[in-house]
Every structure is written in structure tokens, then in C-alpha cells.
Structure 1
Amino acid sequence: MTLHRRGLLAASLALPAIARAQGAWTPDRPVTVTVPFAAGGPTDVLARLVSEGMARDLGQAVVVENVTGAGGTIAAAKVANARPDGTTLLFHHIGHASAATLYRKLPYDVLGSFAPLGLASDAAMTVVSRPDFAAADLAGVLAAMRKEGDRLTIAHSGLGAANHLCGMLLQHAAGTALTPVVFRGSAPAITELMAGRIDLFCDQATNTAPFLREARIKGYAVTLRQRVPGLDLPTTQEAGAPGIEMSTWHGLYAPKATPAEARARLSAALRAALREERLLARFAELVTAPASQERATEAYHTQFLAAEVARWRPIIQAAGQYAD
């Protein structure tokens, strides 16, 4: 190794120590981002993109660990009980908020066991059907649901999944209950939808967009307040059903007792990652919007999480669908 390279290596190794001496927290070992779902799925892909950007900003490795099971609650419990030193984080979606009501007994407190560091992304949900479903628009879908009730089927991929929550929201708006059909993921549900064996589905645009563009399934609306580029679908508000509004949002969390300086530094690294051009380009491909810099903050995320817990409680209670 040349003297020049030795000098560069020594300088890079000294950076964390210098930062600590100046009062800025820096992780002294790799940061683990725990993802509650399987590798390759939408949450995992987003977590890896965010983690790569955070690693560049922190100057420290950020690795993703997939801890699956029980709708994300196993991973959440692991992080809630981890050493609060800023090196074990949770990357979770909307299911973190709904778990507060959906699960009768949790080994942690959704609002009390974590320090929210910032939101990371928003993905629109889409209301879709089998290709030959008779309804011409969302109003027609809701009318058919009210008329047919449990003679219609609606897919989801497990209690607490974003598509399960969206389906509950749709049924809540219609004031009726359909027959649920549970699949192991969105892909098999969409396959059955295309084949005409399932009537309705409410899933992320990330998953449905390719099939909507090819007219292999029928689309009615997106569940955000603004339209999704590349999809010729109205918003639920434009379609006359403003109550059917939600996104599959993701956020980053640390254990509750994580020191303030560590939380602030990790939150700043999240915002830095969300500004990177490579991340923005990849998010666009995934039909997902990065969280704004305001939403990717501790303060905003903390208030938002509490509001989401409160919002989903009566919807889940009305549906009476609980997990053990």
C-alpha cells in the first residue's frame, strides 16, 4: 500500500472519531435496517434503496435484514427490544399503524416503543377488478358491492397487508362485506383476477400498473389526492368517493430510548437519501413517490403515525377482522 493510500485510509477511519469529538453522532458499527417482509418484495426493494443512500451519507455500512412473519410484528418486536444505540432500525409500512388495533396482543406499543425518524415513501393504491366486471366506474363498483354483498369476492394477501386495509376501506365506504379470498402475496391474487376467478382487488399501483397498462385487469381509481403519472385513472375524490383515500406509506423507526443526537443524525441521513437522483429515478420506476423533506422528519412522522393509528381503529373494529 502506498503512503498516499495509507493516508487516505487513516483519514477515512478517523472521520467518525472526529465527528464524535465535534459533537455529531456517527455510528461506530454497521447499521441494520430490519424489514418485516421477504426479500424482493416492494418494502424490501424500497428499504434497500433508502439504506444505500443513508450509507453514503453516514459513511458507514447500512445492511438490510429480513425478519418475516405475523404481519410484520415479529420484526417490530425485535427492533423495539434492540439496544437503543442507533444501529438497529425498522423500515415498515402502513401495517405498523394498523397493527395497534388489528392485533389483540402485541409484545410492544406501536406508539410507545419506537422513535419515528421520518417517512420514506408513498405509493398509491388502485381499485381494480377482473377484466369483465360490469361496472364502468367506481360508483358502479360501490353499487355492485351494495347489491351483491358477499356474493362478490375480494382478494388480499393477509391480515394487515396494505391491500387488506384498502379492501376494508372500500367495503367500509360501501357499507357492506364481501367474501375475502386470501393469497400469499399480490402476484397470485392478480393472476386469479386476470383469469376472472376473483371479482375485486385493491392493491399498490407498483403491483397493478403493468397489468392495467396492458388492459389485463380493469382499473377504476387511485386512492391518492392526485393522479398517478402513467395511469389513466381518476382519483377516488374525482370519482365521487373521497373517503376511499390512503397510501402504502413507509417509515423508518429506532427503538424509543435511542439518544436524540443519534435520531437526528439518522433522520438527516434519511432525508439525504431521498434527495439522491438515483433513488428518485428508481422510485419513479416503481410508481412510488419519495416522502417530502418535511414528511421525512421526526416531528412529522410522530404526529402522522398517531393519526394513522386513530384513523384505522374504527375501520378495523367495524370490519371485526382481528389477528391473534
Structure 2
Amino acid sequence: MKHLLALTAMALACTAAFAQDYPSGKPISIVVPFSAGGPTDRVARDLAEALRKPLGGVSVVIDNVPGAGSSIGAAKVARANPDGYTLLLNHIGMSTVPTLVRNLPFKVESDFEYLGIINDVPMTLIAKPSMQANTYAELTTWIAANKGKINLGNAGVGSASHLCGLLYQTAMKTEMTPVPYKGTAPAITDLIGGQIDLLCDQTTNTSPQIESKKVKAYAVTTPKRLTTPLLKDLPTLQEAGLKDFQVTIWHGLYAPKGTPPAVLKKLNDAVKVALKDPDFIKKQEGLGAVVATDGRIEPAGHKKFVADEIAKWSPIIKAAGVYAD
């Protein structure tokens, strides 16, 4: 018994010493479960830069591991050594893969440590330039008159635009024909060309098209109106009558389950410093994102938020019968 207690004390002492020295000796890797160059990759690279200073100048590198609706990259982190040197930056997909992906090789709510929500990216409901409606009220009239004939584009099964479209159809109690594409770019190209009627996608992708008047914009998916000059006059879908309609593409940071508490605290403290970095905030605003400042930047708030999001999206995805694998 004494031998066991001695071994336990020794292990605790080693863990404490490791946590005190963290980070040192090697770079921290942030796994991004999407290809390089996309919106989530850009958020991760901005965050990596902002984390370096509060983490003592350690190198923070990006590891792109795309595939299977973000589950391949997330699984890599779930299996990683829980030492604080392998992290995951994922978006809303963290709350949808449990339903979208069959035989998921990890459990979102129990195989990760939560380090805080990073930002929210609003979404916009847009239409082809030839759309007759000029206001959201006119659009709802058009939708009612064209039931069964409406083509609703998205950037692929499980994408943010797909999820937004599913929620919109549910809220409107109107069936539309989903038209999936391999990414947002081809979907917007066909929207501009009139091959599809509607698209719901993040401001990161839609703002340039709205500004150049290549598409028509009708509403935003946030609880409050946006303050940016380009989008400030667009109503929210909530004020337009769709109660509790809210979709943002949020990003959160995670570590493998079992990462020492002292390491987690250092990481969360660094995240909170990074979120106040003026340069990081400016870069996020340039992406159309709003940096998180609420209780979700704390691990407990982050975990509760993800659980609520899973509960929100699971019945919608199941009802639609869609899967990402």
C-alpha cells in the first residue's frame, strides 16, 4: 500500500512539474479538420499568431487534416497524447458530426477538454439576382407561391450552408429541393447564373457578392442586426417572424481528454488574452466574424454551448435523413 501511495505521489509530482514547465521544448500543433485556405483555416492561423505571446513565444503551427465532415481531424486529436501540444480548432461541425457521421470514432462530449469559443460568423439569406422579391416580406410571398419549385443550394452535405438551409425549411414549414455543391464557390456561381434560387451562407463568402450586387440579400441569421455598413439594413430572421432562428458559424478550441488541469488553465488563459488582442480582433472583423466575449470563452460555458447545439441540430439532421459519410 505504501509503495502504491509513493508511486501515486511521484506521478502527481511529475505531472505538476510538467504542467509548470508547459509549454517548452516543442511547438504546439492546432489541427484544422479542413483544407488550407478556407475560413476555418484562416481563423486558426490568426489564432495561432495571437496565442504565441501569451504562451511565452512558443511556436504554434497548423496541421490541416480534412475529410468526413471534420471527423478525421477531430479523431486525430481525440487519440493524441494529452500533453497540451496537440489541439483542435473546429467550427459548428463539432455539434453536427455526432448525427451526420455514422460510426463516429470519438464522443464529442467526453473525449475532449473544452478551451473556449473563439468567434461567431453570421450568415445571410441571399437569392439569385433575377429574383422578383426586393424585401424579405416579398420573398416570403414568393416562397408561398412557389412551393415545391424552389431550389435551395448549399456547399455540400453537412456544410454550414446546408445546415442553415435545413433549419430555414423547418422554420418556414416549406419543402425546398436541396442542391448540394462541392464548396461555396460553385454554389454562388450557379446562384448568380440563376440555376438555383436561394442560398444561406456565411458573411465571409457572401459579402463580396452582396456588395457588388451580383446577388440579392434579404436577412441575417443573428439575434440582432449586424452593424457593418454593408449589412446593417438587413433584418434578422427573428424580427421577420421566425422565432428563435439563429445560426452562426462558431469556432472553438479543444484538447484531448486527460490533458492536465494546470495545462488546460494555461491554455484557456492564453485564449482569453488572444481574444483581446487588437490585431486578432481586426483580422476577425475582416472575415466578417465577431470575437467571443461571453461566458462561452470559459471551458464550462463552451461545453454547455456545444451540448445545446447538438440538441438543436440532431433532430433537424435526422428528419432530413442526411449523412456526411
Q: TM-score, normalised by structure 2?
A: 0.89
Q: Determine whether 1:235 maps to 2:231.
A: no
Give 1:53's aligned amino acid: A
- Does the residue aligned with 1:58 lie in a helix, a strand or coil? coil
Counterpart for residue 164 of structure 1: 162
Counterpart for residue 86 of structure 1: 84
d(CA) in 1 for partners of 2:302, 2:114: 6
Counterpart for residue 292 of structure 1: 293
CA 1:25–1:173: 2 relative to 1, 3 Å: farther
Counterpart among 61, 85, 94 of residue 59 in structure 2: 61
Aligned length: 305
Equivalent residues of 1:222, 1:234 under 8 A apart: yes
Equivalent residues of 1:122, 1:289 under 8 A apart: yes
Counterpart for residue 321 of structure 1: 322
Give 2:250's aligned amino acid: W
Counterpart among 200, 203, 212 of residue 201 in structure 2: 203
Q: Determine whether 1:263 maps to 2:267.
A: no
- Does the residue aligned with 1:136 lie in a helix, a strand or coil? coil
Deviates more, 1:176-185 or 1:297-306: 176-185
d(CA) in 1 for partners of 2:259, 2:204: 33
Give 2:302's aligned amino acid: H
| Structure 1 segment 303-318 matched on structure 2, within 5 A | 303-318=304-319
Give me the CA root mean square deviation: 1.7
- Superimposed CA distance per residue, residues 174-210 of structure 1 (whole angstroms, 9 cap, x where no aligned partner): 2232222222211221111111111110000111111
Equivalent residues of 1:25, 1:265 under 8 A apart: no
d(CA) in 1 for partners of 2:43, 2:292: 12
Counterpart for residue 99 of structure 2: 101
CA 1:146–1:255: 2 relative to 1, 3 Å: farther
Counterpart among 40, 52, 59 of residue 43 in structure 1: 40
- Tell me the CA shift for residue 243 of structure 1: 3.5
Counterpart for residue 277 of structure 2: 276
Equivalent residues of 2:19, 2:260 under 8 A apart: no
Unaligned runs of 5+ in 1: 1-19
Counterpart for residue 119 of structure 2: 121
d(CA) in 1 for partners of 2:94, 2:143: 28
Deviates more, 1:239-248 or 1:84-93: 239-248
CA 1:302–1:57: 2 relative to 1, 3 Å: same
d(CA) in 1 for partners of 2:110, 2:17: 32
Equivalent residues of 2:40, 2:90 under 8 A apart: yes
Q: TM-score, normalised by structure 1?
A: 0.89
Deviates more, 1:169-178 or 1:109-118: 169-178
d(CA) in 1 for partners of 2:270, 2:323: 36
Identity %: 44
Deviates more, 1:202-211 or 1:290-299: 290-299
Give 1:317's aligned amino acid: K
- Superimposed CA distance per residue, residues 199-251 of structure 1 (whole angstroms, 9 cap, x where no aligned partner): 11000011111111221101111100122212131111222223431100000
Give 2:245's aligned amino acid: I
d(CA) in 2 for partners of 1:248, 1:227: 16
d(CA) in 2 for partners of 1:163, 1:25: 43
- Does the residue aligned with 2:186 lie in a helix, a strand or coil? helix
Give 1:202's aligned amino acid: C
Counterpart among 199, 210, 213 of residue 211 in structure 2: 213
d(CA) in 2 for partners of 1:22, 1:256: 17
Give 2:27's aligned amino acid: P
- Does the residue aligned with 1:266 lie in a helix, a strand or coil? helix
- Tell me the CA shift for residue 136 of structure 1: 3.4
Give 1:26's aligned amino acid: Y
CA 1:268–1:216: 2 relative to 1, 3 Å: same
d(CA) in 1 for partners of 2:21, 2:270: 12
